[in-house]
Chains A and B, each alone.
Chain A
């Protein structure tokens, strides 16, 4: 298991939990790193665009990879501008593209996301696009140079779990890049389920931010993600979701 690394854009990670930052609190970051084992933390550039008081950037421990996101962008051009600003702020080369043109559901706009991915990948960014799980869009993102694909499980903040489960499975099966399930995961059991299906990692925020006991919930997510990953690996990829294959042939009794 020690060799089971999550590889994104040539960078290796041991943890398959990524902390979202939409509903950050400084306690949440602490719990995510210590108890959920997060090695990647997203950071809304628009929130880091602050002065000296409790800037989220100051609370991210050393050794953690920052994943700045472009939340607030309404089209590709705005996302590109935010990504460049993130780089100027010293946030590194990773960027999570989020482009929403709907303030009610905050659903990502796949078309604009593909455009932004192409521009930023060409500029050397490690691009992780948040998207609606559509196979054609996912393929376009691969061709545009994405380093991973981040489909949503259900509307952000809805705690509805794997509402797009069947479509996530298609992406997992067909797309060669890591599929990181983002948005909508409300419970550790759902994170576990997505990992069993073959997701490369889980991103969550609200589920932890709104938990009664943050620390315990962070640790529950770590365990659930590990359990799902182990199940996926032990089943050679398809055992859990597609039924087990018997070691003895079922048709061995047929003789003539």
Chain B
């Protein structure tokens, strides 16, 4: 069953509502999502064609238990082995996948689990992505933190002991311009050892600027690698341009970033194909930029504000676990991050198998860390959250829980060079 995402707000003007409905119902009213908009840098890269070629020819129904058995028995993992491990035929082998993934994880990462926290500094957005709580037609409290507010939020987080931060914005170049984000990176360098960014995709030289401001990791979610599906979900704004988003990680590396992270939002489209494409995106980019550090995130669709009609394509915990195990077996070197959308129980289990990084002390709202961390409400308004989280553990609790699982929590493993 397809997801139904369209939700109208009572707060939209008639003309806005008309435009929204036109975008939703008339594909001809939408721009060509494969065409670059003005100002978007186009790089020469053959990676997209390779990834999409594999995805489009992927028929997971043809894999059998025999293929899965062979893939599990191989010492390495070929692309075809990986395809077998992602297929429905691998579901009955979930325990074996987990055992193999655990062994590989321990060889490459030992018992360590890295901790970080995200910080949303603005939730303005110029895109209409039908599944997202921040989308421009959604009536939510919009907010952009000032320089002083960002610093205060960072102080609160740093005081909790956190050393790695991921700075996020909604995707509005107008409201959250490059200088604003650069300023946040410089502030973050004062309080944290490691600074990552999850913002709208930018050009190579702009990534270089942000790198010089102190950021060293860039995360961009492609959401879905299925071009046709992508077109029906991202109806308006720069995010609509599929190829510019796809090449964001490569531009970030060209701009001097140390590492990049990838993800599909599983459940938007066929999750097996999306998982295949995500991993191959990592695989081919690593071949081209062997020095770069690569990681994968594994979010599933979860409820968002003003949208209670979501009916996710079925990515249950068992399937999510299968995907994560397959990622690990195919990409032993890649970091794997598991979102706070998942339950504490799932995250405790998955760090023992394959995940190497989890967030703690998470808020996806704007400007509410003081309240959430210290219980102090300063009376200021907060920006609404992008999505609801499931695992609310703070840093101390997360540290304790991970230690109790026999793992070693790590707050920093990084130098800005």
Contacts and interface: CB of A to CB of B under 8 A. Distances in A.
Given A22-B110, A25-B111, A51-B161, A46 B290 contact: no
Interface stretch (B21-29, B78-86, B407-415): B407-415
B410 A47 contact: yes
Interface stretch (B41-49, B219-227, B291-299): B291-299
Nearest to A71: B413
B286 interface: yes
A206 interface: yes
A103 B110 contact: no
A179 to B, nearest CB: 24
A26 B407 CA distance: 10
A206 to B, nearest CB: 6
B290 A103 contact: yes
Given A26-B408, A101-B291, A103-B290, A210 B415 contact: no
A210 B413 contact: no
B60 to A, nearest CB: 26
B93 interface: no
A82 to B, nearest CB: 6
Contacts of A105: 333
Contacts of A9: none
A49 B110 contact: no
B106 interface: yes
Contacts of A106: 333
A11 interface: no
A49 B412 contact: yes
A103 B193 contact: no
B273 to A, nearest CB: 24
Given A26-B408, A102-B290, A73 B417 contact: yes
A167 B161 CA distance: 46
A50 interface: yes
B106 A210 contact: yes
Contact of A44 (B108, B399, B413): B413
A240 to B, nearest CB: 29
Interface in B392-417: 399, 408-415, 417
Contacts of B286: 103-104
A85 B415 contact: yes
A205 B108 CA distance: 11
Residue among B106, B110, B286, B290 facing the most chain A CB atoms (10 A cut-off):
B110
Of the candidates B108, B409, B413, B415, the one having the most CB atoms from chain A within 10 angstroms of its own CB is B415
A105 B106 CA distance: 15
User: Which range holds the interface residue count of chain A?
Assistant: 35 or more
A72 interface: yes
B36 interface: no
B333 A206 contact: no
B387 interface: no
Interface in B207-248: none
A45 B415 contact: yes
B291 A103 contact: yes
Given A23-B111, A103-B286, A46 B411 contact: no
Contacts of B413: 44, 46-47
A157 interface: yes
Contacts of B333: 103-106
Given A78-B417, A102-B290, A103-B290, A47 B412 contact: yes
B376 to A, nearest CB: 23
**Secondary structure type dominating chain B contacts:** loop
Interface string A98-135: 00111111100000000000000000000000000000
A46 B411 CA distance: 11
A158 interface: yes
A72 B417 contact: yes
B82 to A, nearest CB: 15
Interface in B101-158: 106-112
A209 B406 CA distance: 12
B107 A159 contact: yes
A44 B161 CA distance: 20
A207 to B, nearest CB: 10
A20 to B, nearest CB: 10
Contacts of A78: 417
A72 B417 CA distance: 9
B290 A101 contact: yes
A82 B415 CA distance: 8
A205 B112 CA distance: 13
Interface string A4-35: 00000000000000000011111000000000
Interface string A75-90: 0001001100100000
A50 B411 contact: yes
B29 to A, nearest CB: 44
Contacts of A22: 110
B395 to A, nearest CB: 9
A74 interface: yes
B368 interface: no
A104 B282 CA distance: 11
Given A47-B412, A50-B412, A102-B290, A206 B417 contact: no
A22 B106 CA distance: 11
B414 A158 contact: no
Interface string A206-235: 100110000000000000000000000000
Contact of B414 (A25, A72, A101): A72
A110 to B, nearest CB: 15
Given A25-B111, A210-B111, 16 more contacts: A23-B109, A23-B112, A25-B110, A25-B112, A46-B413, A47-B413, A49-B412, A50-B411, A50-B412, A52-B161, A72-B415, A72-B417, A82-B415, A103-B290, A157-B107, A209-B106
Interface of A: 22-26, 44-47, 49-54, 72-74, 78, 81-82, 85, 100-106, 157-159, 205-206, 209-210
Sorted nearest first, the 4 A-B pairs with minimum C-beta distance are A23-B110, A25-B408, A102-B290, A101-B291
13 contacts: A23-B109, A25-B112, A46-B415, A47-B413, A53-B161, A53-B399, A72-B414, A78-B417, A81-B417, A102-B291, A103-B286, A205-B110, A210-B106
